[in-house]
Amino acid sequence: MRIPLISGNWKMNTTVSEAIDLVNEMRPGLDQIDNVDKVICPPFISLAPIKELIKGSTIKLGAQNLYFEEKGAYTGEISPLMLAELCKFVIVGHSERRHYFNETIEVVDKKVQAALKVGLKPILCIGESLEENEAGKTEEILTRQLSSPSARIYYFSGLILAYEPIWAIGTGRAATGKQANETIGFIRQHIASQYGKGIAQQVRILYGGSVTADNIAEFINQPEIDGALVGGASLKASEFLSIVRQTSEIKGRLSEES
């Protein structure tokens, strides 16, 4: 049984004091919910104070990006080791980074490897654009994004995948649960064909793109979907809490039934 995971991607939102307030608002409720990995990914500068704040809490911390070099003259970048001291997870290859910061498949691959090397758990984002989707190229694009020489190591090391169709991110136009389940099913089959069924059954695959408290149930009720990467809705404590709570209830019920 894969443990469900809900991760909040705060993107470039919240000052340090706002981030602290948000965590203080979420923490009591989140700590009462079991059977779900609860991850928040604030901006880099809030990681250290939040790490202190959540001592003794079940909330886990993640970063939104990293650089692949160990250290040195890379002005403005943050290394894997710097993060490993502060958090457990790191989002890699988000479509906003691929798009606005020209991150190629090769760069994303180096980042995943660098994260794994220091024991960080990467949440690797993949997904197709609207044009690619409409041209029927979704599976081709996903296969390309998943083809890395080091992918075998990825899966053995507990990589988490997030399927985020670009047309659904921040648009209010989420995929349907059925669509997302089918595509995530395809991703799992692809992994099975390359690396074996055992690995494919272990890897957690999240859905991301306009997830809210109102539509989370639709996704979580699907057997292939192990959780969500939540952007906008993770910035409201009550909404994020509701997303995590529904996930715990629904996956708990599904596992009892199976």
Q: Assess 9 for contact with ligand PGA (CB under 6 A).
A: yes
CA–CA dist 209, 174 (Å, integer):
6
Using CB under 6 A, pick the residue from 63, 211, 241, 243 that binds ligand PGA: 211
Nearer to ligand PGA, 164 or 226 (CB): 164
End-to-end alpha carbon distance in the chain: 10
Site string for ligand PGA, 138-177 (x = CB under 6 A): --------------------------x----xx-------
Catalytic residues: 94, 164
CA–CA dist 234, 238 (Å, integer):
9
Q: Assess 247 for contact with ligand PGA (CB under 6 A).
A: no
Q: Assess 218 for contact with ligand PGA (CB under 6 A).
A: no
Nearer to ligand PGA, 169 or 187 (CB): 169
Name the nearest CA neighbour of 40 among 28, 56, 58: 58
Q: Are 161 and 168 in contact (CB under 8 A)?
A: no
Q: How far is the CB of 7 from ligand PGA (least distance, A)?
A: 8
Q: How far is the CB of 24 from ligand PGA (least distance, A)?
A: 22
Q: Assess 8 for contact with ligand PGA (CB under 6 A).
A: no
Which one of 21-29, 64-72, 127-135, 226-234 is the stretch in contact with ligand PGA (CB under 6 A)?
226-234
CA–CA dist 231, 86 (Å, integer):
21
Which residue's beta carbon is nearest to the bound ligand PGA? Answer: 231
- Site residue total, ligand PGA (CB under 6 A): 13
CA–CA dist 134, 90 (Å, integer):
30
Q: How far is the CB of 176 from ligand PGA (least distance, A)?
A: 15
Q: Assess 227 for contact with ligand PGA (CB under 6 A).
A: no
Q: Assess 130 for contact with ligand PGA (CB under 6 A).
A: no
Q: Assess 225 for contact with ligand PGA (CB under 6 A).
A: no
Q: Assess 65 for contact with ligand PGA (CB under 6 A).
A: no
The alpha carbon of residue 232 and the mean position of all alpha carbons in its chain are separated, in whole angstroms, by 14
Strands (E), 47-175: 60-63, 89-92, 121-126, 160-163
Burial of 4 (0-12, 13-18, 19+ CB in 10 A): buried
CA–CA dist 105, 231 (Å, integer):
22
Sign, Cα dihedral of 253, 41, 123, 183: positive
Sign, Cα dihedral of 78, 48, 120, 161: negative
CA–CA dist 81, 68 (Å, integer):
10
Question: Which residues from 171-210 bind ligand PGA, rule CB under 6 A?
Answer: 208-210
Q: How far is the CB of 34 from ligand PGA (least distance, A)?
A: 24
Q: Assess 229 for contact with ligand PGA (CB under 6 A).
A: yes
Q: Assess 231 for contact with ligand PGA (CB under 6 A).
A: yes
Residues within the interface to ligand PGA (CB under 6 A): 9, 164, 169-170, 208-211, 229-233
